[in-house]
Amino acid sequence: MLTLIGVLIVIIGFALRVNPLLVVTVAGIATGVAGGLSPVAIVSDFGRAFTENRYVGLVWLTLPVIGLLERSGLKERAQELISRIQSATSGRVLLLYLAIRQLTASIGLTSLGGQAQMVRPLIAPMAEAAAEARFGELPDKTRYLILAHAAAVDNVGVFFGEDIFLAMGSVLLIKGFLDGNGIHLTPLHIALWAIPTAIAVFIIHGARLLLLDRRLSKQFKDRKT
Amino acid sequence: MIRLEFIYALGGLLFLTVAVLEFLDRANPKRYRKTTFWGIYGITFLFGSVLPPFATGCLVILMVLVTGWKDLGASKVKTTTETERRQSAARLRDKLFIPALCIPLVTFLGTLLLPKIAINGQALAAAKDSTLVSLGLSVIVALVAALWLFRQRFITSLHEGRRLLTAVGTVAVLPQLLAALGALFAAAGVGQVVSEGVTRFIPADATFLVIVAFTVGMALFTMIMGNAFAAFPVMVAGIGLPLIVHKLGGDPAIMAALGMLSGYCGTLMTPMAANFNIVPAALLELPDKNGVVKVQIPTGLILLAVNTLLMYFLVFRF
């Protein structure tokens, strides 16, 4: 049971809003000590995993370009275009992106999207602009809610789209693991059973996006243009 | 052949440049700590594969210690005003979208093409690295396009990079630290403890309870580990195969597919999956780092219930 001390530290630390870097590092060291690892092994494990996962940090490479685009008025331009489409709402913009993201991921095109590549420069400003075109300047709280929804749509779309693609990591992991346990299935057989969930999540999350629209209309009903 | 290491070096150079810019800004509060932080991060990117893991580990711990109790805070970097941006938008019009679209399009095309194009019998990029290599290349293409179309100077892009990176803040390195935590969880055997805990509480002949224990267990374990792939082998070996497939006669493909997807519901609901949930919040400059998780929780919970019912009704039928 003592090995779970790291989990406990993370939960308490995150709840108390202590600097997450410190919480995770302390939790890692505590877990290692509880698991009987030597101090050198703990620090080495830390360093090795940090290096092996450098790929996650490559997303920051996009920031200089995104900064240039922003200072040159990309967001303002996106707002102008979106405000010309009468029927555009935040929820509908995001619903369309959800459909595209799920469909492209399901045929293996997961790189055609992403938080730094699509959401920050294009999708989030468009969703925000659609609401601003209707209701004028938004209070910060509403703005943050729309932005959070933009990020969520990208995640939901890719998670529950990619599993339908045969060559995706998750399908191959499942196949490999079951093969190792003497159960032999084709990737097609596994990917097929991801379809019901993919349809369900599109309905559930799509409905929530339309509810977001209703909530915004209600909140700003006296401002409607 | 373009090696992934080249793209990491590019990242390292960016972080080191940010460290230098932080140092040169005399009005910057916590100037030395910020310089140290981004400097170390840059070094781990540039020399990560040369440094012994122990040395990297020491550097990472030092980097965490300079952040202290609270985040270091964004640095003030001069950028354009809203009026200037409106004027610029009116002048550049749809040209503004070209560099923005370069990033997903070049990444996509590169992922498809780089492994297929061979020079002297060697592919331009290994298939497993092609997305990341293409992402790096797409940034270069987009940057060149933006500098040329908008008539901007290269140094401006570095200042803008610093503005956004310090707005993201030290949380930028959190996904890598969480991956390190996951490695230590695995080394210390946290997985076994959790799966033993879950299996101890379920009566093996109550079909519905077994299914619930499996799907909810996958989601919960994923929330702890931050990764469904880490939870999958443990839960399938603990409940999925012995109880659902072998004892109750369920279909292994349905058990495995819906089990993994239940894990994904957990991914939607945890700050531990930082690259999906915390990084976007930082990237969009949300004040609440859990803002994205909060929006995803209702979908995650409803979908977990749907997955559980789907498994209950389908797994014994095929």
Q: Quote the pTM value.
A: 0.86
Last residue of a domain, which of B44, B74, B104?
B74
Structure tokens at A81: 């275009």
Cα separation, B145 vs B162, whole angstroms: 20
Cα separation, B183 vs A32, whole angstroms: 10
Tens of pLDDT, residue by residue over B217-248, are 999 989 988 888 888 888 888 889 988 999 89
Cα separation, A89 vs A91, whole angstroms: 5
| A44, A59, A72, best to mutate vs chain B, most B CBs in 10 Å | A72
CB pairs under 8 A between A and B: 422
Pair (B43, B117) in one structural domain: no
Pair (B196, B304) in one structural domain: yes
- Is the pLDDT at A224 greater than 70? The verdict is no
Cα separation, B164 vs B81, whole angstroms: 16
Cα separation, A187 vs A166, whole angstroms: 6
A39 touching chain B per CB within 8 A: no
Q: Kindly determine whether residue A77 and residue B94, on different chains, have CB atoms separated by under 8 Å.
A: yes
Question: Which of B198, B211, B221, B214 has its CA nearest to residue B267?
Answer: B221
End-to-end Cα separation, chain A, in angstroms: 60
Pair (A65, A89) in one structural domain: yes
Pair (B51, B144) in one structural domain: no
Name, in order, each residue with C-beta under 8 angstroms of B32's C-beta and a sequence gap of 6 or more.
Answer: B23
Q: Is residue B46 part of a domain?
A: yes
Find chain B residues with C-beta within 8 A of A82's C-beta. none
Structure tokens at B259: 């089990």
Find chain A residues with C-beta within 8 A of B156's C-beta. 68, 71
Name, in order, each residue with C-beta under 8 angstroms of B226's C-beta and a sequence gap of 6 or more.
Answer: B178, B182, B267, B270, B272, B273, B274
Q: Is residue B171 part of a domain?
A: no
Q: What is the 3-state secondary structure (H, E, C) of chain B?
A: CCCHHHHHHHHHHHHHHHHHHHHHCCCCCCHHHHHHHHHHHHHHHHHCCCCCHHHHHHHHHHHHHHHCCCCCCCCCCCCCCHHHHHHHHHHHHHHHHHHHHHHHHHHHHHHHHCCCCEECCEECCCHHHHHHHHHHHHHHHHHHHHHHHHCCCHHHHHHHHHHHHHHHHHHHHHHHHHHHHHHHHHHHCHHHHHHHHHHHCCCCCCHHHHHHHHHHHHHHHHHHHCCHHHHHHHHHHHHHHHHHHHHCCCCHHHHHHHHHHHHHHHHHCCCCCHHHHHHHHHHCCCCCCCHHHHHHHHHHHHHHHHHHHHHHHHCCCC
B302 touching chain A per CB within 8 A: yes
Pair (A64, A48) in one structural domain: no
Highest mean pLDDT among B159-173, B202-216, B219-233, B251-265: B251-265
Cα separation, B192 vs B5, whole angstroms: 35
The least confident of A9-18, B183-192, B213-222 is B183-192
Q: Answer yes or no: is the ipTM higher than 0.95.
A: no
Pair (A35, A111) in one structural domain: no
pLDDT higher for B5 or B201? B5
A173 touching chain B per CB within 8 A: yes
DSSP A168: S
Residues 15-54 of B with CB under 8 A from A: 15, 41, 44-45, 48-49, 51-54
The residue whose two tokens read 């000590």 is A33
The least confident of B14-23, B28-37, B64-73 is B64-73
B58 touching chain A per CB within 8 A: yes
Pair (B295, B214) in one structural domain: yes
B177 touching chain A per CB within 8 A: yes
Pair (A101, A140) in one structural domain: yes
3-state helix, strand, coil in chain A (%, to 5): 80, 0, 20
Tens of pLDDT, residue by residue over B247-261, are 899 999 999 999 999
Q: Is residue B274 part of a domain?
A: yes
Domain range for A116 = 60-223
Q: Kindly determine whether residue B177 and residue A61, on different chains, have CB atoms separated by under 8 Å.
A: no
Number of separate domains in chain A? 2
Q: Is residue B175 part of a domain?
A: no
Pair (A165, A115) in one structural domain: yes
- Is the pLDDT at A40 greater than 90? The verdict is yes
Give the per-residue pLDDT at B33: 94
Pair (B282, B302) in one structural domain: yes
Exposed e or buried b per residue across A177-211, where buried means at least 16 C-beta atoms within 10 angstroms of its C-beta = bbeeeeeebeeebbbebbebbbebbbebbbebbee
Question: Which of B279, B205, B198, B274 has its CA nearest to residue B231?
Answer: B198
Give the per-residue pLDDT at B156: 95
Beta bridge partners, A115, equal none
Pair (A159, A208) in one structural domain: yes
Pair (A157, A114) in one structural domain: yes
Pair (B215, B257) in one structural domain: yes
Q: Kindly determine whether residue B295 and residue A152, on different chains, have CB atoms separated by under 8 Å.
A: yes
User: Among partner residues B7, B59, B194, which is closest to A58 by beta-carbon distance?
Assistant: B7
**Three-state DSSP class for residue A28:** helix
Pair (A67, A171) in one structural domain: yes
Pair (B297, B230) in one structural domain: yes
Pair (B126, B222) in one structural domain: no
Which residue from B minimizes the CA distance to A36? Answer: B188
Q: Kindly determine whether residue A46 and residue B184, on different chains, have CB atoms separated by under 8 Å.
A: yes
Which residue from B minimizes the CA distance to A110? Answer: B108
Count the alpha carbons within 13 Å of A75 in the hemisphere toward its beta carbon: 21
Q: Kindly determine whether residue A51 and residue B56, on different chains, have CB atoms separated by under 8 Å.
A: yes
Pair (A165, A103) in one structural domain: yes
Pair (A144, A204) in one structural domain: yes
What are the Cα distances from residue A8, in Å, to A147, B44, B193, B290?
31, 29, 14, 19
Beta bridge partners, B118, equal B123
Q: Is residue B270 part of a domain?
A: yes
User: Among partner residues A19, A119, A181, which is closest to B69 by beta-carbon distance?
Assistant: A19
CB atoms closer than 10 angstroms to residue B162: 26
Domain range for B146 = 82-154
Confidence of residue A123 (pLDDT cuts 50, 70, 90): very high
The least confident of A153-167, B189-203, B230-244 is B189-203
Q: Is residue B271 part of a domain?
A: yes
B141 touching chain A per CB within 8 A: no
Pair (B25, B136) in one structural domain: no
Pair (B66, B107) in one structural domain: no
Pair (B32, B122) in one structural domain: no
Pair (A35, A99) in one structural domain: no
Number of separate domains in chain B? 3
Q: Is the CB of residue B100 less than 8 Å from the CB of residue B142? A: yes
What are the Cα distances from residue B232, in Å, to B35, B136, B190, B239, B260?
40, 31, 14, 10, 6
B182 touching chain A per CB within 8 A: yes
Pair (A70, A180) in one structural domain: yes
Cα separation, B41 vs B12, whole angstroms: 7
Which residue from B minimizes the CA distance to A186? Answer: B253
Q: Kindly determine whether residue B89 and residue A74, on different chains, have CB atoms separated by under 8 Å.
A: yes
Provide the shortest C-alpha distance from residue B120 to chain A (in Å).
27
